[in-house]
Chains A and B, each alone.
Chain A
Amino acid sequence: MKPSQVTTLEGNEAVAYIAYRVNEVCAIYPITPSSTMAELADQWASEGKTNIWGNIPLVVEMQSEGGAAGTVHGALQTGAMTTTFTASQGLLLMIPNLYKMAGELTSAVLHVAARSLAAQGLSIFGDHSDVAAVRQTGFAQLASSTVQEGHDMALLAQASTLEGRIPFIHFFDGFRTSHEVNKLTLIPDETIRAMIDAEQVRAHRGRGLNPDHPFIRGTAQNPDIYFQARETVNPFYAQLPSIVQQKMDAFAELTGRSYHLFDYFGHPEAERVVVIIGSGAQTLIETVAYLQTQGEKVGVVNVRLCLPFSAEHFIKVLPATVKAITVLDRIKSPGATGEPLYADVVTVLAEAYANGTLPTPAIPRITGGRYGLSSKEFTPAMAKSVLDELKKDKPKNHFTIGIDDDVSHSSLEYDAAFDIEPDEVVRALFIGLGADGTVGANKNSIKIIGESTPLYAQGYFVYDSKKSGSRTVSHVRFGPNPINSPYLIHSASFIGCHQFVFAEKIDVLENAGHGATFLLNSPYGPDEVWDRLPRSLQQEIIDKDIRFYVIDASKVALDTGMGSRTNTIMQTCFFAISGVLPREEAIAKIKESIKKTYGKKGEDVVKKNYIAVDQTLARLYKIDVPKEAKGTIDLPPTVSSKAPEFVQQVTAMMMAGKGDQLPVSMLPIDGTYPSGTTQWEKRNISAFVPIWEPDICIQCGNCSFVCPHGVIRSKFYPETRLKNAPEAFKSAQINARGFPGTRYTLQVYVEDCTGCNLCVEVCPAKSLQQSGVKAINMKPKEPILKQELANIRFFEGIPFNDRSKVDFSSVRGTQFLEPLFEFSGACAGCGETPYVRLLSQLFGDRLIMANATGCSSIYGGNLPTTPWTKNAEGRGPAWSNSLFEDNAEFGLGFRLTADKHLEVAIQLALELKGAVNPALVDQIIEAPQATESQIRDQRIRVAELKAALIVLDTEKAKDLLSVADHLVHRSIWIMGGDGWAYDIGSSGVDHVLASGRNINILVLDTEVYSNTGGQMSKSTPMGAVAKFAAGGKPVAKKDLALQAISYGSVYVARIAMGANPQQTLLALREAEAYPGPSLVLAYSHCIAHGINMEHGLKQQDLAVASGHWPLIRYNPALRESDRNPFVLDSPRPAIKLKDYAFNELRYKMLSRSHPAESEELMKLAQQVVNQKWEIYEEMASGSGSRFHPDASVKQKSKK
């Protein structure tokens, strides 16, 4: 928390700053985009920061938002000032408690970073779907439209709820406000204290449950009184608007910032008015201000207190001159007469008209429209279109703005070129790579300017959908007046392209305004760079009269000892040429900031940065732009012309960043998208790729086994196939016996490689002559790219090896199975995806996957391109994601369908036996399907049956055809991370394991919530630091394996590919083969562990060697032969826990922040490891009779 009055903060921090100060308890759970608020609360608590009463709030992470809501309710009911932070599905999970809290008139504020709800697809971005979904709960709703307002309204909501007793949801737009960095004035503690009535706080406590003054609350009520009791609260809702306004007035007195329930902005005699909630109001305010200067009589009502909706206050702010009103909702209510705000306004105006209280002579024309769903841009151009529409005699109602709805024709057209941003505002766009520090540097620039000059600053950051090699675009504004423009920059005065590769691939100047400054980080100097640009970019520079600067930031970084850190250099360039500050002053401020940031690291680091700044200025060149574009380079097409039509027309648009332009008709109606689209997105994100050395290779398959992105593939084939091979195509004689004249090739898909180096790390084959050379080595891609593309084309012409002829039981064998999960957007070196890819290889052609929300659902299902693909026969994994919390149950549904439809298919087949082929039907029903060749045979039989059924053409035949595919056994998997399996989905996992059904659960255990940024789960080990466990987790990790084993009928395995790949393979195959429920816990190293991801597999090995992650298999089927079902696959711990743990930042940082606690926790953790090992050893010894018999499996086997 900052001591200064004026600072720059993200919206989330601005809100959490207040929430933390005015509460005693926070029960939290991470969900984007609200997580930061909870994280900050936890961090401040761990740092000992206090609330306004001088105590440190208790911050407790729960297992789900449902759990958080329950805890909030409980803490409130016992009198603590309590809050939580959430969004989207999280808010939905709180609904039952929201009714309770409101029904019991409980003073509380929940802070919501408003976000879309998952419907046809999940979206993490902002709209009001979530808050609209809880309108009936009885919570009041107060909205903020800027970062400053978020800060202010958080306090106003708290002050109001204490007096009014109605609980509040305070919300603001997810990402647009929650993640925007802006300059704001902090509310001093004395003002907070002045707003929070101490007597009301004590009254809140006094209403808490207390055995010294007992009462009961939460009774069960009957038809005689429930209804009346429900109506008792009416006076509280009736007086709440006045209370809120009183608090706003008091706040204005204290701070000078004045708010109203409805703030009107515009012409006092406006004829056209828009009503809107949230950040979009700021767009309208700017647009209305501009249009007024053009003589238009327009206005906007910014709704702050959305519920209770005060008709009286609303009517009062409407100019009496208004003739037409449009209400904009950031939500869709399918099938309703209109969206919620529209419905409120219509009702209010209709009632006022009926009552004769309407200030206008006639009821204005009212229309409603939808805008901004899932953070869709809402620009002044769109705002103008909405206002212009109201000029028409018959304006469109129930319209949409910002999209092209060519199906229902709801959309309004708008002039995208309409631009009202004032020239005094410096509008800068920075295009960078996630890893290059561009965003961090821009946040730093905002801080420099926002906090040490009178200028205002705003920053908003756009990230792409991949976790590796992602592009970031920073939208940064600086100016002399407050900046609240809640939309992206479309006419930039400065564009910084921090990676040359973007200039070669995309139109980086698309959003450059006329006369803008363009700064390019280029390996080509001032004399060469022009000729290296695509011709279209050259033309754009000429047409837009761009001032073009170039610097070789990478070279400057290298020469000045900065390594690969180019952020300071690019930041210096920006300050030097943007004119946002006088050059000398700007440079001095950068140096000041460097001193502040790097001071701790030593004088020489500071000096190094200073030299880099000075060198930057000396090596920054302005280019004399030629009058003509004569370039010979063209921007490459987004996808290959060989891509399917959908990919060409739809996916490619999204990939090119032009998804906003796709009309409604181009998009699937029900969220169904084609499989296997990552293959068309050649991302080329690594400059270094593995190169195979056939002469050294022992063909073990380890490299392809561990490849997280499925870019290493192997095939064996007759020598004769090499006849037309490209010259550079590599092969070796296969080294297995019994394959004369057979060649082996290991092909790297170099354009899809992320350069993670895991393959090189795991390669056991070393050159006998050359030090450091293995059978696979990282080398620069550029020199071999062309030849490798030819090689890949040739390699793809060689058929994949026949699955029925591949040895599934060995790691070596699996390299010949086609991966049906490829080129995902996971982090480089991801520890999860090798397991996922392996599953797809083993069972992919009959796999159906239920995927819990999390990393795996994002790299597995985040558009534009998705990695689950299909084989040459058109078969492949069928994948879906329902929610975070319900994945086990969702997958169980898949099983029930499979069981039911198999039963139906068998029944129909028996009924039609005589009409088709009796022997064939018998075979289909009786044939085993345990091996790949048996499955292949079954597929042939089913195909024969289907052919016969088509000929038969009866109703029953058609029925059987609709379910006949089930006659080939499906492999049903439920997959997710530990946040799901250990926490939010724990009860579902438990229930599915207890169901006895043939279902397989794969837990990709990273021991932390990876996707939302490293929050603690119940899988987080003792002593590890995570968000929400900043002081190190004091409790040991839950042993999910032992829990599952306790059922006796569940196959359980704990695996770690980096420690024992063969055991991994064996366990996955056994799990799949086991006819009951299976649970496989897979150690997945993760970027959230704070490791060099290159060494992820080594860490896996150490995790096992230390006893932290003992490899086990529990196979209930072994009980049938009285064998011990519990097998301990790893040897006794050979190293101490700390020898594994202290290679990871998550453990190590505690030893630096709290050394004594770290030592104590590590000691305890070692004891846990020792004790656990004894238990396992004991379980593994002795006879199987000590374990439950598995009756359910016996029955299934008999079936």
Chain B
Amino acid sequence: MDFTTNYMGLKLQHPIVASAGPLSGTLDGIKRLEDGGAAAVVMFSLFEENIRHENEAFSHLMESGTQSFAESLSYFPDVDSFHVGPDSYLNLLRQASESVKVPIIASLNCVTGEGWIDYAKQMQQAGASGLELNIYSVEADLDATSEEVEQRYLDILATVKSTVKIPVALKLSPFFSAMGHMAKRLDQAGADGLVLFNRFYQPDIDIQALEVKPSLGLSSAGEIRLPLLWIALLHGKLNASLAATRGVEKPDEVIKYLLAGADVVMTTSALLRHGPSYMTVLLDGLKAWMEARRFSSVAQVRGGMSRSKVANPGAFERANYIRELESFQSAYI
């Protein structure tokens, strides 16, 4: 049975990939992901803002209380080699690229033009097989127009593409008025892959302490619908690879994503729940399902239920919405 998959030009042994998450925070973790059976590993994201923040914090703490009192004009040794920056990330990337056989895709989130350029370049130099641009921002500025937001995505893509030779994917927010059109524009601008979708920080409110609390749990199977919908809609329409991420709990979600048209299916939550070796369970499940239906390759499965191939394409559109409402059962209706 042929599980091989092409993701942004990368030849993968199968379509299940470890998405950006805490498991890739150490070399040991990355090795465990490989041993667990991941076809590729997307490393956790390097956040330029974090580096800048850390840089600022380091400078602030280094300078705090200095040049104020004659006996203690400073509190720390002024070590030349002391450097706050992406070094630790790049070192890990370098070590991982050298130590594991599966492709390592570096993930990047920047806030400045030079950040995208510098870090993308350095990631390529450190041995990344591909880049995933994690353009993660909550557009809280009421003056930012949708055109500006879209243009920013396109600019970032153009910037990075002109900087590196390795394939570049964009991890997208689902919050575009015209998601399909946006995907098309990104595709035309040279995106090698689109990763659908990013999960956004959606804080909760603690009613006892009257505080806003961060709330980002592991994703659950119920969350696959939105990426599933868009992968099904986009499959076959773009040159870019499609990666599905979010809500993979069992082999069923892998199969659904592949049927919708995903080139690869990414997961972190399942691996955090069950450990990296759960990758094998997902793969075995896929294998069993394919065997039962006599599929001989993943390529045959891919996109089988996409909009362009499904029996009733309207099911992915408004009609489906109406049907869902009609079928909704509740004790109150």
Contacts and interface: CB of A to CB of B under 8 A. Distances in A.
Contacts of B58: 1145, 1148-1149, 1152
Contact of B76 (A466, A767, A770, A1014): A1014
B251 interface: no
A43 B70 contact: no
A1146 interface: yes
A258 interface: no
A437 interface: yes
Contacts of A770: 210
A46 interface: yes
A1011 B73 CA distance: 10
B209 A766 contact: yes
A1087 interface: yes
Contacts of B73: 36, 1013
A1087 B75 contact: yes
Interface in B186-231: 209-211
Given A602-B112, A1090-B61, A1151-B88, A124 B77 contact: no
A42 B114 CA distance: 36
B67 A1146 contact: no
Interface in A393-438: 434-435, 437-438
Contacts of B61: 1090-1092, 1145
B79 interface: yes
A440 B62 CA distance: 13
A609 to B, nearest CB: 13
A1153 B76 CA distance: 13
Contacts of A33: 70
B75 A175 contact: no
Contact of A1090 (B72, B75, B81): B75
A603 B74 contact: no
A1146 B82 CA distance: 12
Contacts of B62: 1090, 1145
A1093 B64 CA distance: 10
Contact of A1013 (B72, B79, B83, B114): B72
A1090 B63 contact: no
A47 B75 contact: no
B77 A434 contact: no
Interface size class of A (residues with CB under 8 A): 35 or more
B71 A1153 contact: no
Contact of B74 (A1013, A1149, A1155): A1013
A601 B55 contact: yes
B83 A766 contact: no
B68 A467 contact: yes
Contacts of B52: 601-602
A434 B66 CA distance: 7
A113 to B, nearest CB: 12
B29 interface: no
B206 to A, nearest CB: 10
Contacts of B65: 434-435, 467, 827, 1087
Interface in A17-49: 32-33, 36, 39, 42-43, 46-47
A47 B70 contact: no
Interface in A104-155: 124
Nearest to B114: A603
Interface in B103-147: 112, 114-115
Contacts of A36: 73
A772 B84 CA distance: 33
Nearest to B206: A771
A1010 B64 CA distance: 13
Interface in A1131-1160: 1145-1146, 1148-1149, 1151-1155
A604 interface: yes
A472 interface: yes
A1088 interface: yes
A124 B79 contact: no
A1152 B209 CA distance: 36
A470 interface: yes
Interface string A688-702: 000000000000000
Nearest to B68: A434
A53 interface: no
Interface in A1006-1058: 1010-1014, 1025-1028, 1030
Contacts of A942: none
B210 A463 contact: no
Q: Which of B112, B115, B210 counts the most chain A CB atoms within 10 A? A: B210
A858 interface: yes
A470 B81 CA distance: 31
A439 interface: yes
A1155 B91 contact: yes
A1152 B67 contact: no
A47 B81 contact: yes
Contacts of A827: 65
B77 A46 contact: yes
B328 interface: no
A1010 B72 contact: yes
Given A124-B71, A463-B69, A772 B210 contact: yes
A467 B69 contact: yes
A33 B69 CA distance: 12
A860 to B, nearest CB: 14
Contacts of B81: 47, 1153-1154
A39 to B, nearest CB: 7
Nearest to B112: A604
A1011 B71 contact: yes
Nearest to A466: B69
A767 B210 contact: yes
B55 to A, nearest CB: 6
A15 B159 CA distance: 50
Contacts of B70: 32-33, 124, 175, 179, 463
Given A124-B71, A1155-B88, A43 B78 contact: yes
Interface in B217-264: none
A604 B80 CA distance: 23
B71 A858 contact: yes
B87 interface: yes
A768 B68 CA distance: 41
A1149 B79 contact: yes
A856 B67 CA distance: 20
Nearest to A1091: B61
Q: Which of B59, B78, B91, B211 counts the most chain A CB atoms within 10 A? A: B78
Contacts of B210: 766-772
B321 to A, nearest CB: 37
B218 to A, nearest CB: 21
A46 B79 contact: yes
B84 A1152 contact: yes
B67 A440 contact: yes
Contacts of B88: 1151-1152, 1155
Given A766-B210, A1152-B83, A1014 B74 contact: yes
Contact of B71 (A435, A601, A1012, A1026): A1012
Interface in A1063-1117: 1087-1088, 1090-1093
Give the top 4 A-B pairs by smallest Cβ distance, nearest first: A434-B68, A1013-B72, A1014-B75, A439-B67
26 contacts: A39-B77, A47-B79, A124-B70, A124-B71, A175-B70, A434-B69, A440-B63, A463-B69, A472-B67, A600-B85, A601-B59, A602-B114, A771-B210, A827-B65, A1014-B72, A1028-B77, A1030-B77, A1030-B79, A1087-B75, A1091-B61, A1145-B58, A1145-B61, A1148-B58, A1153-B79, A1153-B83, A1154-B81
Given A43-B79, A600-B83, 17 more contacts: A43-B77, A47-B80, A434-B68, A434-B69, A466-B69, A467-B68, A602-B114, A602-B115, A603-B112, A771-B210, A1010-B75, A1025-B76, A1026-B76, A1090-B62, A1090-B76, A1149-B58, A1151-B88
